[in-house]
Structures are given as C-alpha cells and as structure tokens.
Amino acid sequence: MNVEKIDIKKGIRLFVLPTGKFKTVTISFCFHRDLDNDYTYNALIPAVLRRGCEGFTTLKDIQRHLESLYGALFDVGVQKKGERQILRFSMEVVNDEYVGGQGLLAQSLYFMNRIINRPVLHEGSFIKDYIDQEKENLGNRIRSLINDKIQYSLERCIQEMCRDEKYSRYVFGSEEDLKSLDNDRLYGVYKDIINTSPLDIFVVGDVDPDKVKMLLEQSLSMERSRIKSIPVTPYKKLKTKKRTVTEEMDVNQGKLVIGFRTNVNAGDKEYYPLLVYSSILGGGPHSKLFINVREKASLAYYAFARLERFKGLMFVGAGIDVDKQEQTLDIIMEQVNAISGGNITQQEYQGAVNSLVTSILGTADQPSHLIDYYLGNSIIESGITLEEFVENIKNVSIDQVVEVSKKVIMDTVYFLTNKRKG
C-alpha cells in the first residue's frame, strides 16, 4: 500500500492511503499535544466539541445528519503515545461510488471542519451544560479504571515507575483537575489546540489523493499561528533503582506487574529484535511465560509481556494467587535471564516471528489500525511501510534478540493484593 503524504498548510499534513479493500472511506484528524499540565483539559475538549457545532447544535441534530449521510459513523477519542496526547476526530462514510456519487466525502470533510472549527458557543465560550455533562462522563471514565483490575494494575505500575516523568499522567486526565477545571481556560486551551498543534489527517479508502487534497483545502477553515514542536519522548534510563510497590484492595486474585526499561526507541533498528524478544517472553501460547509460568508451574491465570514503543518500556503482567508473589516473580525472572543467556529454542523463536507477522499483516484489514500504524510512523518520522516492517521482523536473528535483551533492565515491581485480615 502506497501512502501519499501531502503538506497542506502550517503544521497540517495529509496522509492518503488509497486502497480498494474497503467499501467505506475512513477519515481521522489527529491533533498532537504535549502531555503537559493541560492534559485533563486536552482529554475533555474532544468530548465537548462532539456535542454540537454551527448548524447542528445538539447531539440529536448531529445524529440526524449522520443518518442522512447513509449512516455515517463519527466519534472522538484521546490516546497517549509516549509523552504526547493524540486528540482524534474520526469519521467513516460509504464510498461515493456505491451511492451514485452523492459527494459523501466532501460532505464529511465539511462536517468535520464544523465540529472542530465551528463549535456551538454561548457568549464566546463553550456551553456550560455541555461542559458539566462531559466533565461528569470523563470523571466516571477515570473512576471506572479501578473496575478493570488488569488495566488498573498496569496503570499504577506506570505511575510508580514514571512518577517523575510526564508519562505517568493518565491519558484521560485526573479527577483533581476536573474538580477545579476553569471553563474559560478550557476554551483557551481549545483555541491553542486549533492554532498551534501539529495536525495529521488520514484518509483511507478507494480515493484519489489529489481530489482528497482539493476537498480538504476547500473545506478546512482553520487559523494557524506558530506551530508548537512536541518534545521528543525520553526513553533511555540506564541507571534505575529497583522498587517494589504493594497495594491492598478487596480482590480475590493478585495482579503482578513488572516494569522494565528497554532503552530502545520505536525508531531504532534494535526495535525489531526487541519486538521478537517481547513475543518470545510473553506474546502468546508459544512464549516462555505461557509455557513455564502458566502451564508448567500453574502459577498464573494469565501472563503477558507488552511493549510501550514510544517510551521504551516493557511490562510483564500476571494474575496470580496472592500468596504466590515471590515464587511467580522468581520464575518470571528466570525466563528473562534465560533469553539474555541465549536459551531460546527454534520453536519459541519461530512462534514469535509468525505471531508478530500475522498480527502486523492483520493491521491492513482494519482502517483504524492502518491509521494508528501510520500515525506512529508520523511520530517517529518514519516512512516504513507495513510490508517493510514485516520483512524487518522476518530478518531478525536469535543472536540479535539475545543482544537486545541485555539492554532490558527491571525497574519497578507492582503487586495488587487483597486486604490483610485483622
């Protein structure tokens, strides 16, 4: 798949992925923000904007308009990639050729421009009721993290491990910031996003890049000033002091999370051996954690290894009986040390490569996954295609895996256990 990159205006880049694979066209506007002190404001703004705009001032009006576009889908979201927040506005619409050339792509781009650049206002600011309702929704989302103990324990490990780094901030913000949120400042942050944030726009579908560029330039009404440069996420930390953090809660199953510093960035050539390393360690039924911790030792209900590619972190997670912490930790570290000692079987290696290749190729089957992949490329200024990515994985050797494993350093052990009786 050839990706055409087109500069539109100050700090705005268009990425067109022409493919006949889908009967729809997917559009995504991605604003890049530093994960700074405005992170709670950043997280709230997309939700407020989706409530109404000029011409469609309520959710009901918006829904009627989407239905008139043959059931187009529209949504907003917030992501964390390294120490930056991505504010996304996405739309999926039927390709014009299937509905007799109704100009749906053009109408969709005009609609998205209204949502982003023409919000419904009252006395020069956002409507207070919309802000209050979305603050409540966002607060509920932040609080609901505790209901997913796997994700909660992972997030808590991140907070402890990166407590002096911006990466410790939760992508959806903090309850404390929500409680003291200033409505006028919220509108000011919104204006700053529109005026100064780098913006990547992705269009995936059976489209002509030149036509997309023309339609976008016709529809986009955005005042741009000085474009901010998002700081590069620091990923190296060679000296760490190992910490163990235990938290008690009313749980039946313990959650063990071990945070590692990989000292490898997504743009490094060593990232491909690191991917294979992570998969050999805990990427599925072929992995050492699955075979030795879950199956042979029967210590874990689940066990995985996961990379955070933009921050150079790896997390190993396991659900265990609360009295098995030390035993499980020991056997997990045995697997880590086995890899760095060169103890990798051909079956483990091939299973890891095959699993990664299947997963990466599967990215091409979902427009949202394709956009996420090329958004990642945009962050690290890489032009590597999915096909080239796959070839780089296939070319990784066991020796390269062993070599990169020696860079991986344990940093923090987090354990969520049940409350002690008495």
In a domain, 15, yes or no: yes
Distance CA 261, CA 237 (A): 7
Tell me which of 184, 219, 254 is where a domain ends. Answer: 219
Q: Does residue 319 form part of some domain? A: yes
Q: Write down the pLDDT at residue 42.
A: 98
**Do 38 and 186 belong together in one domain?**
yes
Angle at 237 between CA 234 and CA 238, to 5 degrees: 150
Same domain? 171 vs 267: no
What's the pLDDT at 9? 85
Q: Hunting for tokens 């919309």 — which residue is that?
A: 130
Amino acid identity of residue 287, one-letter, is S
Domain final position from 187, 219, 251: 219
Whether 273 shows a pLDDT value over 90: the answer reads yes
Distance CA 275, CA 282 (A): 11
- Of residues 275, 316, 261, 262, the one with CA closest to residue 294: 316
Contact 317, 303 (CB under 8 A): yes
The per-residue b/e assignment along 86-97, b for 16 or more CB within 10 angstroms, e otherwise, is bbbbbbbbbbbe
Q: Is the pTM of this model over 0.85?
A: yes
**91 touches 30 (CB < 8 A):** no
pLDDT per position as a tens digit, 159-193 = 999 999 999 999 999 999 999 999 999 999 999 99
233 belongs to a structural domain: no
Strands 199-205 and 12-18 come out as parallel
pLDDT in tens, 221-234: 988 889 999 999 99
What pLDDT, on the 0 to 100 scale, is given for residue 420?
74
**pLDDT the model gives residue 422:** 43
Examine the domain organization and report whether 398 and 296 are in the same domain: yes
Alpha helices (runs of H) in 118-265, residue ranges in sequence order: 128-144, 149-161, 175-179, 183-196, 209-219
Q: pLDDT tens digits, residue range 253-266?
A: 999 999 999 999 99
Pair 213, 253 in one domain = no
Provide CB contacts within 8 A for 324, sequence distance 6+. 254, 299
Give pLDDT, residue 236.
86
> What is the SS3 assignment for 243?
strand
**Is 158 domain-assigned?**
yes
Q: Are residues 175 and 300 located together in one domain of the fold? A: no
3-state secondary structure of 121: strand
On whether both 12 and 133 belong to a single domain, the answer is yes
Residues 250 and 163 reside in one and the same domain:
no
Q: Is the pLDDT of residue 114 over 90?
A: yes
Whether 228 is in a domain gets the answer no
| Cβ atoms within 10 Å of 14's Cβ, excluding its own | 20
Quick one: pLDDT at residue 100?
81
Q: What is the pLDDT of residue 225?
A: 84
Number of folded domains that form the chain: 2
Q: Which range marks the domain in which residue 48 is found?
A: 4-219
Q: Is the pLDDT of residue 402 over 90?
A: yes
> In this structure, what CATH number is given to the domain that contains residue 360?
3.30.830.10
Among residues 282, 270, 283, which one has the least CA distance to residue 355? 283
Quote the pLDDT of residue 102: 83
The average confidence (pLDDT) of the chain is 95
| pLDDT score, position 1 | 67
Among 159, 185, 219, residue at a domain's last position:
219
Give the start-end residues of each E strand in 211-271. Answer: 243-249, 254-261
The HSE-up count of residue 101 (CA atoms within 13 Å, CB side) is 0
- pLDDT level of residue 238 (50, 70, 90 thresholds): confident
Residue written as tokens 């493919």?
Answer: 19
Q: What is the mean pLDDT of residues 314-320?
A: 96
Say if 75 falls within a structural domain. yes
Confidence band of 421 (pLDDT split at 50, 70, 90): low
Which whole number is the average pLDDT over 18-37? 96
